[in-house]
Structure 1
């Protein structure tokens, strides 16, 4: 009997340490800490240099900037899952009078609501939040720069609006709701709105000399839902597990999967770079892997959370300088090192504990027109449908009962698959969003749209 190796191999640990050492040295940052998650638990923590005489470990706080947005998105999706709101609702329905209410909640989550990237001057990241006590101070006189829903335009004020939405619906401050509904259930006790000792100080590093200048650590006030939080590699490692697997106390696995799906219009440069944005999560292609997570920055700090769901590996990188190393690159490399050095060992194949014979008879080959597809049974009563060769639309489907399933991904996401039976109970065909799948190409015994030529298949002499 073999089991999954729980700890990383010495060579892998050394490669991880080497990567963060190079990042800290070449990036000229006072300190850098990192963690790697595999199989639902942190398996490695690394650190370079000290934080005010304290060797940084997994419990030292760093400011995480825009990773805060992912936490805010989780709160909004909880409201949706409770039925309090719909992602297609315009903001005005729940938070009237902002001047940006035509944007939908989904568009704000995906940064496609058309809002400006920043609040009006002075620069909000280096000035007290008391300068912007009202939403009008955050949005300014012209909050919308683009038509809502037309393009992805990253917006910090957009997440301020989402935080205000949470406060309005819950009747409590954003940070209080976050602590009660997300941080405490997930055990993120070192993720806070204000720093707790031990924590790193934020520094600017002179670009042409090895000297430092302290950066201010402002309370962001109204802008808090866009970038206020402080956290640790240990807490963010646990958060990465949640974003991979879900936790029914906070959000289901299905909802966190939805967060990881592209939700914003892509531009030409995004298509080339393989970048996209989901619901509070950044997505990108890196060395052939789909990576999801979020980066963050505030004066004095840089942060990144990177997850490869397919490899079941995640990385957290935190550092205390305004500019220097690129945590997103470092995080992607940490994931790659583990995924390539110690590939994921698949779980053992096991037969299904039980099977519905009415579903089993659907397994096998089906044709959409002349293209061959295979329908396979999955655990939990779900099925998958994929082309037998070449390229084509494929998806997994969740069982609804009574011979129907709902698509979970790709072209068929949300579409209904059902088995259509004849009066005698035998299967006539599959109906997938009006597409007819038959057991034989253009089966004359099935209701093929447009009918089947009575001459049938023939050669041409």
Structure 2
């Protein structure tokens, strides 16, 4: 089954359907649903089911597990953007009495707080939340098992703390805040804390026999901000579009971009696997592509939302089994199929519509520059930014925006936050560029330029 939309070519749609059919069959999943998003719209959806005549669609709910953490992270970033907290604030400043008050908000968001991965006591995902009525019940007597801020260690209790932080600062339950501030503005009406029909049942499939049994569906209580939500491929497709572009009603594009930036120290094994963690988002590499999103699992369910930003292709995969298909692998394959079969067509090149004062000043700066003997090009683009790139193809690069005082502030990479200052001669012409004390000149070690260490008076020469 596929949607009737015609945005993708028939061959691409068939390849997508084939991939999820293989995943459902080989993974022995009672059902598997998927969707692909491009340019902010769902361009394909598909489903496979083991029950004849009962094929779920984009409106059927599945439990999404830890994708819930991304929603919780959005709420925390909203608090930051409103000035109610700083990500560097210790938890104790806003939520006293936890016993782990020295950890910061960003430590919790990035799973670098040193907290245990799971709660003490019985398996929290498969037992009632009423067994853990207080935050203290999910931390236990020894909540910190690693030094704070020193390493990435995935922690479900850490996101329970973030949910409690949201409740404290908003003065309302986490679920109510989430519905009011994220779900309703984005139109995610089928994303809920408790299942609302139509929804899939969660199943455990026997590893050595083609039989299955239902998994319990528990309310997670104070652990809800770590994994409680139910959603659909339709809603998660819209959420993916938000995570790509932002939405001023919820979170700006800049804050969403910050969530997508690595924020936790990487373990050697994670580096080898191409895995990193931002603020409520996982960053991975697959098929040579950078992918951002989150996976999720709870007994009876598997889920993945992933976004290939360079290709403008996102994918959602949901299944109702405890183990079986690998949702990230399937989602990454869906991104690859579309990106390779139908590469993104770039927007037409257009010149700057109107040359502003900053653009006119930047024209003096563009062209070739040298840092020592390294050649760089400085280019002005239609968006009013300067881009510094090594001409060899390797080396430090960054875009720069005007700072309003004649300088330009780096936006990424080594030069993020650094100021590029054009230094002018008395006649107004540009002598050189100063970038964080690095002097860029029009010629390598240009005579008369203030090159640190000076320029040899005899100039360039051959081998003596």
Report the TM range for the smaller structure's normalisation: over 0.9
**Partner residue, 1:135:** 135
Q: Which has the higher mean CA deviation after the structures are superposed, 417-426 or 131-140?
A: 417-426
Q: Map residues 246-261 of structure 1 onto 2, 5 A cutoff.
A: 246-261=246-261
3-state SS of the aligned residue for 1:258? helix
Q: Map residues 40-119 of structure 1 onto 2, 5 A cutoff.
A: 40-49=40-49, 54-119=54-119
Q: Map residues 43-442 of structure 1 onto 2, 5 A cutoff.
A: 43-49=43-49, 54-355=54-355, 356-442=359-445
- When the two chains are superposed, the root-mean-square deviation of aligned CA atoms in Å is 1.6
Give unpaired runs (5+ residues) of structure 1.
none
Q: Confirm whether residue 450 of structure 1 aligns to residue 453 of structure 2.
A: yes
Distance 1:53 1:100, change over 3 A: farther
Q: Which has the higher mean CA deviation after the structures are superposed, 84-93 or 143-152?
A: 84-93
> How much does 1:53 deviate?
6.7
| TM-score (norm: length of structure 1) | 0.96
3-state SS of the aligned residue for 1:381? coil
> How much does 1:401 deviate?
2.3
Cα separation, 2, equivalents of 1:447 and 1:77: 44
Distance 1:52 1:158, change over 3 A: farther
Cα separation, 2, equivalents of 1:70 and 1:446: 51
Cα separation, 2, equivalents of 1:330 and 1:452: 58
CA contact (8 A) 2:350 2:382 kept: no
3-state SS of the aligned residue for 2:392? coil
3-state SS of the aligned residue for 1:401? coil
3-state SS of the aligned residue for 1:213? strand
> How much does 1:51 deviate?
7.3
Distance 1:414 1:41, change over 3 A: same
> How much does 1:397 deviate?
2.2
Distance 1:51 1:80, change over 3 A: farther
Cα separation, 2, equivalents of 1:391 and 1:219: 52
CA contact (8 A) 1:359 1:403 kept: no
> How much does 1:33 deviate?
0.2
> How much does 1:105 deviate?
1.3
Cα separation, 2, equivalents of 1:405 and 1:108: 33
Distance 1:435 1:86, change over 3 A: farther
Cα separation, 1, equivalents of 2:297 and 2:248: 30
3-state SS of the aligned residue for 1:242? helix
Q: Deviations for 1:297-337, whole angstroms, at most 9, x for unmatched residues?
A: 00000000011000000100000000000000000000000
> How much does 1:126 deviate?
0.6
> How much does 1:245 deviate?
1.1
3-state SS of the aligned residue for 1:351? coil
Distance 1:451 1:142, change over 3 A: same
Give unpaired runs (5+ residues) of structure 2.
none
3-state SS of the aligned residue for 2:188? coil
Distance 1:422 1:75, change over 3 A: farther
Q: Which has the higher mean CA deviation after the structures are superposed, 184-193 or 439-448?
A: 439-448
Q: Which has the higher mean CA deviation after the structures are superposed, 169-178 or 80-89?
A: 80-89
3-state SS of the aligned residue for 1:375? strand
3-state SS of the aligned residue for 2:191? coil
CA contact (8 A) 1:397 1:405 kept: yes
> How much does 1:421 deviate?
2.7
Distance 1:367 1:200, change over 3 A: same
Q: Deviations for 1:192-221, whole angstroms, at most 9, x for unmatched residues?
A: 111111000101011111111111111111
CA contact (8 A) 1:59 1:233 kept: yes
Distance 1:243 1:51, change over 3 A: farther
CA contact (8 A) 1:34 1:233 kept: yes
Aligned length: 457
Q: Which has the higher mean CA deviation after the structures are superposed, 236-245 or 48-57?
A: 48-57
3-state SS of the aligned residue for 2:403? strand
**Partner residue, 2:7:** 7
Q: Deviations for 1:23-54, whole angstroms, at most 9, x for unmatched residues?
A: 10111111000000112110001001267974
> How much does 1:92 deviate?
1.7
Q: Deviations for 1:92-144, whole angstroms, at most 9, x for unmatched residues?
A: 22212211122221121111111100011111101111111111101111111
3-state SS of the aligned residue for 1:8? coil
Distance 1:304 1:442, change over 3 A: same
CA contact (8 A) 1:428 1:445 kept: no
Cα separation, 1, equivalents of 2:146 and 2:456: 52
